[in-house]
Amino acid sequence: MPDERTSDRKCGILCHPTSIPGAHGIGDLGEGPRRFIDFLVDAGQTLWQVLPLGPTGYGDSPYQPFSAFAGNPLLIDLTELVREGLLVGADLSEAEGLPADRVDYGRVIDLKGSALRAAHANLPARGSAALRRELDAYVAREAHWLDDYALFMALKERFGWKPWVEWPSDIALRRADAVERWRLELADSVGYHRFIQFLFARQWARLRAYANAAGVAIIGDMPIFVGHDSADVWAHRDLFRLDERGYPTVVAGVPPDYFSATGQLWGNPLYRWGLMRERGYDWWLARLRNALAAVDMVRLDHFRGFSGYWEVPAGEETAVNGRWVRGPGAHFFEAVRRALGALPIIAEDLGLISVDVDELRRAFGLPGMRVIQFGFGADASNLNLPHNWERNLLAYTGTHDNDTTLGWYRAADEKARHQVRVYTGTDGSDVHWTLIRLTMNSVADMAVFPLQDILGLGSEARLNTPGLPHGNWTWRYQRGALRPELAAALRAMAEASGRWLPPGEQWDAATPLVLEYEEP
């Protein structure tokens, strides 16, 4: 038989940039992630998965950003601004004393906000002509979303960060004369928000180029819904189910299930899918184009909502009194494929998934997801157990919403721990490496591991506990944690499982490699 090798099998690490070491209290887009990418290369990993990169609001959650298009200014590397002359070292003195093992968001927001405003103030005198031309080109190219976003953020600041529905009604409802009046009055603040989006986009593009040049593809993350208090809803009220004052009439959630007797009430406004269809899904296409200009693949969160979603009347205290409503289905993905071509989309299809959702995913050849932690505690038919997996999947030991593998195992009941030991043929020690190896050796085309599992950390390193209002998204790893022996162990497992080839034997990522052979 011919020796045929394909590039389908890949592996990588989940680590959001905020969790990476950096000099100013939070991971940024500078040297820290470049050293992380170097570790991925040494470890034979070709995927880097991140969480949504938008500007975070209440609770510091990347899943409730102020914009579906903008980047998070807290990730801007201030050291680069010093090198470019927009800042001086004294502008960063407040960074001294910030913790290295977690993000103190209150202090980081103050520090970075002060430094970025200083950089903007210094732009006319210290910014090079080339930099200003690059800024002007960016502002013109991204005006379709940037103009509304920059004004929205300037207004948020002007009105004490109140939700937009609590602003004066003329600007809350975007009367044309009010929009123009406030755009003039807040011109400096609008310019500042355009400027910092430019800085983010510029630095992220360079970081992505560094990753791609090293053979690492970036998996991004896109929530299906957007927050009500966002530039998207404020600027496009007609696309959402709102009343005449701008408040949602129905909101998103999930129905009661095994995990919650009252379901989950997310509160996001729901789309007017009929109107979106009439407009050719133009807002969604712009959103996807924006995302795919920043990353190589997109994990589409709550994929089942495209087939059918749980609609809850606004004002309900739980999700119990909701109903299932048909989503846009195949018509939406056909429109996306016509407009964008290939669909580098991963369908987040975790939980109880109905037949119609699975058929929609398969109709467009989208990879699904499996989490090995979810496989234990039930019986052998559980789809999250590796013997039930298929190739077209992205498999995880855990995700950003789960406890670390070590923390999960320690807290699991004895039935689940016993099943782990029997299934893996181990005594349960080094359970994180056991499940990493099991996932790595599975048939799933893609395997991704939270960095906390690679480092063998417990619940103290958990990134997010759903439902916890404060204290999430703060974990950071320490300098020196990415040890050479970890890279060597991962590389050996990646090679043994066919997810990595040594230098000189690597295939072109774009096409399958078929090696020549001779008949004996």
Burial status of residue 393 (CB atoms within 10 A of its CB: 0-12, 13-18, 19 or more) = buried
| 360 half-sphere exposure, CB direction, 13 A CA radius | 25
Pairing status of strand 10-14 against strand 446-450: parallel
Q: Which two tokens stand for residue 96?
A: 């001294």
Q: Which whole-number Å values give the CA distances from 455 to 60, 136, 152, 447, 511, in the listed order?
A: 24, 43, 41, 17, 33
Q: Which two tokens stand for residue 338?
A: 């016509």
- Residues facing residue 396 across a β-bridge: 371, 448
Nearest residue to 78 (alpha-carbon basis) of 50, 106, 132, 119: 119
Q: How far apart are CA 327 and CA 394, in angstroms?
A: 24
Q: How far apart are CA 130 and CA 128, in angstroms?
A: 5
Exposure string of 26-50, with b = 16+ CB inside 10 Å and e = fewer, is bbbbbebbbebbebbeebbbbbbbb
Could you say which DSSP state residue 265 is in? Answer: E
CA angle, 285 then 291 then 293, to 5°: 100
CB 255 within 8 A of CB 319: yes
Residues 6+ apart with CB under 8 A from 204: 29, 53, 71, 75, 294
- Residues facing residue 472 across a β-bridge: none
Q: Which two tokens stand for residue 282?
A: 């133009």
Q: Which two tokens stand for residue 41?
A: 């290369």
Q: Which two tokens stand for residue 51?
A: 């969480």
CA angle, 213 then 219 then 222, to 5°: 140
The number of beta carbons lying within 10 Å of the beta carbon of residue 350 is: 20
Q: Which two tokens stand for residue 323?
A: 């109903």
Q: What DSSP letter does each residue of 203-217 carry, written as one string?
A: HHHHHHHHHHHTT-E
Which residues are designated catalytic? Answer: 301, 348, 401
Q: How far apart are CA 166 and CA 405, in angstroms?
A: 43
Q: Which two tokens stand for residue 121?
A: 């103030």
- Residues facing residue 281 across a β-bridge: none
